[in-house]
Structure 1
Amino acid sequence: MSQLSAKIILWIGVLAGSFVLSLLVSILLRIFERKKHEKEIETAAMILRMIRRRSLYQVLILIALAWIVNDIPSTFPQVDLRVIAVLNKIIVIVAIIFGARLVDGILDTMWIVLRDRLQKRREPSVVVQFFPLVRKISDALVILIAVMIILAYLGINISALVVSMGVAGAAVALAVKDTIENTISGILIMFDRPFRIGDRIQLSSGDVGDVVEIGLRSTKILTFDNNLIIIPNKQLIQQKIVNLSYPNATIRVRVDVGVAYGTDTRKAREIMEQVAREHPKVLDDPPPKAFVSNLGDSAINLTLFARVGAYSDAFFTEKELTESIYQKFGEESIEIPFPQIDVHMKTDNKNG
């Protein structure tokens, strides 16, 4: 057997050995992956699966090819060393590309696991919408870094490219300034969490509604009139917001009633509290309580405070309590006065 034939057989054996070794390592990674699943370590299992499928064969074959390329001059001395150098550069560039794909795959796996965990915790929809954007940004950064490494390896000056990219980025940022501000505001809402989907909030304009969607650009609120209010996130974080559902969904109901002077206020207060206790929407804890709030010009003003389980019950409960108190006062002969003004006429006796 000639030396050339032996070398070719050796090279083929090296390639075949890289395939066999990659197969063995793949089997070991599969075993570790199953062990991680048994221990419920999902992130590690997904990363091992990604490495096994995406980069294992590529790395081992690249190592084998690099050894073969550098072994060629010993067998073929007539081969120009510049060709070997070019081949080595191609192998290094391909290795950089494979490394970038590996890093990108690990980052994608981490984002997917984190997104799934947040979805299980029923985080706002902005979280779910945020992760595709993060994945795209991370993909772009990995590609950009890989390209810059390749250019630097080839001896190409990347300073002008970096400056051009900076200028282009500044121009794009100015063009989409409002979108970027709303997106950043959406991210701040996601982390600060002043409200969640399903919460009932009151805006500084006085509008009250339920949060139905929190997006990266805007938030949608459904009012009692079934109208949808769409507010840019930038405007939303700059105004005062009252969360009527957090930290406790219960809300206070207030009923103001005036009784005539001379009325037994203790009896009137007991009637108001009894009416509230008998209402099905009023909570027992804390119990409803009535007070003499002030002495008006025409009446003794009483105020009843009670709590209901949800803001949606507050309006109708207040109206029903007002009507029931009016009826009960009528049955107990408690007078609800109307405003009265006493006018005294003064006569000038000098002209009479």
Structure 2
Amino acid sequence: MWETISKDQILRDIVTSVAIVIVSFLVAKIVGVLISAFRGKIIQRAPIELGNRMLELLARFGRRLIVIIGLYLAVHQLSRILSPSIFRVVDGALYIAVVFIIVLFIIDLTNTLMRWYSQRLEEKNQVFVSREFLPLFDKIVKIALIFIAAIFILKHFNQDVGSLIVSLGVGSLAIALAAQSTLANMIAGFTILIDRPFRVGDRIMLASGEIGDVYEIGMRSTKVLTFDNTLIIVPNAEIVKEKVTNLSYPDPKIRVVVEVGVAYGSDVELVKKLLQEAAQSHPKVLDDPPPAAYLINFGDSSLDFRLICRIANFMEQW
């Protein structure tokens, strides 16, 4: 091949190739300097820590991509000099490098956004989301990116990816069928996260009639702590399908009902008055609405009264 090309042409191709590489490194350096110079103006619209991290990632990605593009152009400038086999190897290596840089940038970007979002969730006391759902989402994104990158690389080298996709599809279907209940609970967990029918600390009543405080909302189940200090573990799929009463929403006020029996012959109005006064004298009972007492039943051996009042916080019910 060298015999059909003049020495001057070979020299020009080599010089041009070297110049392209040098220029690409200079441009990459300039891009980094420009991003740093405009950092203050760019991050005004985003949180400072997140903005700084995003700019660092963008600058690093830009520098790497510009250098790889420069090397790619330089290699193509030498295509008349290099043998076809060497050219294909170098060209393939540069293509893999470009795919690797793009995948690495997306992974770093995802990790940065997830860390920032995780901190925000923990500030809102949604620790279960940051500890269980976000790591799962992070793994899914990484696996998907690696799979897509592998397909692009194989197609670049003229490899058949159809059989690979079919095999992975069949394998994924088998896994999904085997873990059907687990996936159902995980999807229900996402539904609880988005719909937010209750939060950690809320007092709820399950469809079974059991009452307790939400202790933890996990990826597969929700834990409820009852008044007997026992922990009820309910699969998320069941909670989504069944009726759940949130006793803490929209505010923590709760009605307290007390039933009292007195002997026959007692003064009904006096009993009502005494019950109301007893409730009003309690420091945790609200004045609005005022406590009320009613005669509700003539029992076998007593007059049955019901006292109704409200307290400010359901945690002080007992």
- TM bin (shorter chain): 0.7 to 0.9
Partner amino acid for 1:59? L
How many residues matched? 310
Q: Deviations over 1:237-288 (max 9, x none)?
A: 3333222222221221112234456644333222211110001221222211
- Counterpart for residue 20 of structure 2: 14
Which residue number in structure 2 is paired with residue 350 of structure 1?
none
Deviation at 1:38, TM superposition (A): 4.2
Residue aligning to 2:4: none
Structure 1 stretch 181-190 or stretch 260-269: which is displaced more?
Answer: 260-269
3-state SS in 2 of match to 1:115: helix
Determine which of 247, 251, 259 is the counterpart of 2:250: 247
* 1:1-352 paired onto structure 2 within 5 Å: 3=8, 8=14, 10-42=16-48, 43-53=50-60, 55-74=61-80, 76=81, 79-123=82-126, 125-259=128-262, 263-296=266-299, 299-315=302-318
More displaced 10-residue stretch of structure 1: 287-296 or 154-163? 287-296
Q: 2: CA distance between counterparts of 1:257 and 1:210?
A: 27
Q: Is the 8 A contact 1:253 1:314 kept in 2?
A: yes
Check conservation: 1:124, 1:214, Cα contact below 8 A: no
Deviation digits for residues 124-175 of structure 1 (CA, Å, limit 9, x no counterpart): 5135421111111111111111111121222212111111001110111122
What is the CA distance between 1:11 and its match in structure 2?
A: 3.8
- For residue 214 of structure 1, report the CA deviation from its aligned partner: 1.0
**Aligned-pair CA distance for 1:6:** 6.5
Contact 2:202 2:248 in 1 (8 A): yes
The sequence identity of aligned pairs, in percent, is: 35
Q: What secondary structure sits across from 2:38 in the alignment?
A: helix
Query: How far does residue 8 in structure 1 lie from its aligned partner after superposition?
Result: 4.7
Q: Structure 1 length normalisation: TM-score?
A: 0.78
The Cα offsets for residues 154-208 of structure 1, whole Å up to 9 and x where unpaired, read as: 2212111111001110111122222212211211111121211111222233433
Letter in 1 for 2:28: S
Tell me if structure 1 keeps the 8 A contact 2:203–2:246. Answer: yes
The answer to whether the 8 Å contact 1:277/1:284 transfers is yes
Q: TM-score with structure 2 length normalisation? A: 0.86
User: In the alignment, is the contact (CA less than 8 A) between 1:22 and 1:60 conserved in 2?
Assistant: yes
2:3 corresponds to: none
SS of the aligned residue for 2:204 comes to strand
User: For the residues of structure 2 that align with 1:247 and 1:67, how far apart are their CA atoms?
Assistant: 64
- Deviation string for 1:19-78 (max 9, x for gaps)? 22212211211233333444444555432221223x23321221221122112145x3xx
Q: Classify the secondary structure of the residue corresponding to 2:229.
A: coil
Whole-Å separation in 2 of the counterparts to 1:293 and 1:309: 26
Superposed CA RMSD:
2.6
Residue ranges of structure 2 left out of the alignment (5+ in a row): 1-6
Deviates more, 1:82-91 or 1:179-188: 82-91
